[in-house]
Structure formats: structure tokens, C-alpha cells
Amino acid sequence: MSYSKILFSVAEGVATITLNRPDKLNSFDREMSLEVIDALDKAKDDASVRAVLLTGEGRAFSAGQDLAEAIAPGTKIEDILTTQYNPIVRRIRNLPKPVIAAVNGVAAGAGANIAYACDLTLAAESANFIQSFINIGLIPDSGGTSTLPRLVGMQRAFGQMILAPKVSAKEAEAMGMIWKAVPDADLMNEAMALAKKLATMPTKAIALTKQALNRSTTNAIDAQLDVENELQTIAGASYDYTEGVKAFLEKRKPEYKGVIGARSSSPPCCRVLQSGGRESMDWVGGLSSRLPRPHFREPADLRGIARHSGPRVVSGLLRRRRRPGARRSRFRPRPGPATPDIPLCSWIRAKKRWTRP
């Protein structure tokens, strides 16, 4: 897809998406919205992209919806939301890579709420934010009724939505609406430096952190503890975790790879083997330690590993030594303290294939 209303480039692990309708204050019409959606999909699928930077051309980040299109005959507001804004916000929130917004000027209406949906938002000191929906008799959309109250609280969010004050970048920073306000001349340099820094970090852990925060919006503390357990299990089975530990012990800078969705052909972090009733964990790189046999209390523990790293990781975690010629046997979990009858066994048997070590 060729772009006429945005600019898209990839360099040093960072995909830059620039809204490019400066004569219209980068207001969204259907064509520009679809181009942004396509660019976000490209950034997701490109393994060389490890961070995304979203900004605007000219003196505005985005003035929101192009009203000339919104009032055109045959145009329905619900269609604009369904096909344009909602897909953009969902892609930003679900993208397994960090998204940074560099707000270079006014961010109004949907433009402001898209900036709030990004993982980190920097703004030029001359920029301002405004919930302009009430001025034309509408309610906030593009996720604003979800993100803004979480950023500033219900009172401040409601006040901004019904009174529509202009909020300066410094005020937005003080209220927690954005990550940082910076001098106008430094905005793009600082935003790009931040994006490049994130691109060299363990992006798999960043993506899992983002997923945990997304799920926290509907979870009570008990459910969120289970989410942390599930996602930490996935992070602990990643190449980046192993590399981080090795680099720390070897006193060197780690080299993270963390591309989400790429499955390893073998367990990326460790291999648990049973020998003489005890377990050993053989770390990549020769690190080793003695650990007790793991007790998997939640089906999500192994389902999460299988989904993100493949069934071979699960097999590696459960593999045990077998004498040559010995009969194959089913996995029987060793009972542990406070470990109930595990309903996970049938699932393990379906996934498990015993192999000779």
C-alpha cells in the first residue's frame, strides 16, 4: 500500500509514522486513517521493527476528525468509529512493541485520545491537549473515556470532557497525562532517542508488561496475580531472560533479540531433566543451579509457554531421563505441598511426546 497522507520509514529498529496533512492540522479522514492502520500492521509484522514512533507534520499533532468528511451525505459516525478510530487504538494497545507519541502541537479530540493510547507520550512545551467533543455535542471516543480517567482520575477527566479546557504540555505532565514535556526544538531528537533505546531493550518483556497492564483494567488483584504468574512464566522462558542473566554475571552489556511471535526450535532458556529423583537446570551458556521439581498449579503456566514458545519448550520442561530399552510411561506429577489433584495432566499428556535424552 502506497501512502499519500502519512510518511512511513524504518531505521535502527524504529518505525516512524508521521501524520502528513499539515494544511488540515493533520485531521483524520478515511484515507489517512486506513494508511495509519496499514502502517501499524507493517510495524507489527516487520521483525526488524522493535519500537514505533508516531508524530505529526507541521504545527499540529492532530486536530481530530475532519468535520467536512463527518458531515458529508451518507456518512455515519458509527462507521467512522468502527472502521477508523477503533482499529487504530486497538492496534496501538495490542501491538507487541512499544509505541511512543511525539506531540508536536495541538492534539484535539481523537488526536488527543490517540496520543493517550500510546505507551509513552512526549509533547513539545508549546503543545496543548483538548477534549473538544462537547463543543459539537458529542462524547469522547477513540478510547478517551477509558484512558483519560486512568491517567488523571474521574474528576479531572470529567472536567476536561465537559468543559473542554486547553491543557498545556507542562500541565499535562504535572497531571500524569503524558510522560514528559520537552522544549520544542528537542522534541523529535528526544523522542527518537527514547524509541531507539526501547528498541535495544528486551522487547518481549516490554510486550508482556503492556499485555499485563491491558488486562489489569478489568481484573481484581487475585486475577491479576494469576496474569503476572502466567506472563512471568513466558518471560522466564525467553532468550532475553537468559541473555540478561548471563550478561549480568559476565559484567557485560546484554544483546537482546526479543522479537514477539518467533518460536524457538528448542527451549530458549533452560531444560529440566530428572536424574536420581532430583532436578538440574542446565542454562544456556553453562550456568547451572539445583532446583526442586516444579509443580504447575495453573493450566495457564504451561499453556502460556506452549502458545508463545511452542510445545517443544513444554516437553523440555517435563522431559526425564529413561534407561535405554525402558518402556515409555505417562507423566505422573509428584504431589507437592498444597498441590491439589492437577487437572492439567490430561492436557500435558496430549502435548507430551517422550523422547530419549
Residue 177 pLDDT > 90? yes
pLDDT of residue 282: 36
| Per-residue model confidence as pLDDT tens digits over 60-104 | 999 999 999 999 998 899 999 999 999 999 999 999 999 999 999
Residue 280 pLDDT > 50? no
Residue 275 pLDDT > 70? no
Torsion, Cα of 292, 295, 296, 297 (10° steps): -140
- CA-wise closest residue to 103 among 40, 49, 6, 172: 172
| Percent of the residues in the chain that have a pLDDT greater than 90, as a whole number | 69
| Per-residue model confidence as pLDDT tens digits over 303-321 | 555 555 555 555 555 554 4
Strand order in the sheet with 60-62: 60-62, 106-108, 128-130, 167-168
- Given a contact cutoff of 8 angstroms between Cβ atoms, the answer to whether 311 and 357 are in contact is no
Q: How far apart (Å, rounded) are the C-alpha atoms in residues 280 and 337?
A: 20
Q: How far apart (Å, rounded) are the C-alpha atoms in residues 53 and 277?
A: 52
Placement of cell 451518507 in the chain: 74
- Given a contact cutoff of 8 angstroms between Cβ atoms, the answer to whether 133 and 77 are in contact is no
- Given a contact cutoff of 8 angstroms between Cβ atoms, the answer to whether 82 and 30 are in contact is no
Which range is least confidently modeled, 24-33, 156-165, 281-290, 328-337?
Answer: 281-290
| Per-residue model confidence as pLDDT tens digits over 197-244 | 999 999 999 999 999 999 999 999 999 999 999 999 999 999 999 999
Which residues lie closer than 8 Å to 337 by C-beta, 6 or more apart? none
User: For residue 136, what is the DSSP state?
Assistant: G
- Given a contact cutoff of 8 angstroms between Cβ atoms, the answer to whether 5 and 30 are in contact is no
Domain residue extents for the chain: 6-199, 204-351
Q: Is 103 helix (H, G, I), strand (E, B) or coil?
A: strand
| Per-residue model confidence as pLDDT tens digits over 113-142 | 999 999 999 999 999 999 999 999 999 999
Average pLDDT, the chain: 81
φ/ψ of residue 179, rounded to 5: -75, -45
Q: How far apart (Å, rounded) are the C-alpha atoms in residues 314 and 295?
A: 13
The DSSP string of 11-65 is ETTEEEEEE--GGGTT-B-HHHHHHHHHHHHHHHH-TT--EEEEEESTTEEE--B
Which residues lie closer than 8 Å to 38 by C-beta, 6 or more apart? 1, 3
Q: How far apart (Å, rounded) are the C-alpha atoms in residues 178 and 127?
A: 12
CATH number of 6-199: 3.90.226.10
CATH level 3 topology of 204-351:
Lyase 2-enoyl-coa Hydratase; Chain  A, domain 2 (1.10.12)
pLDDT of residue 257: 86
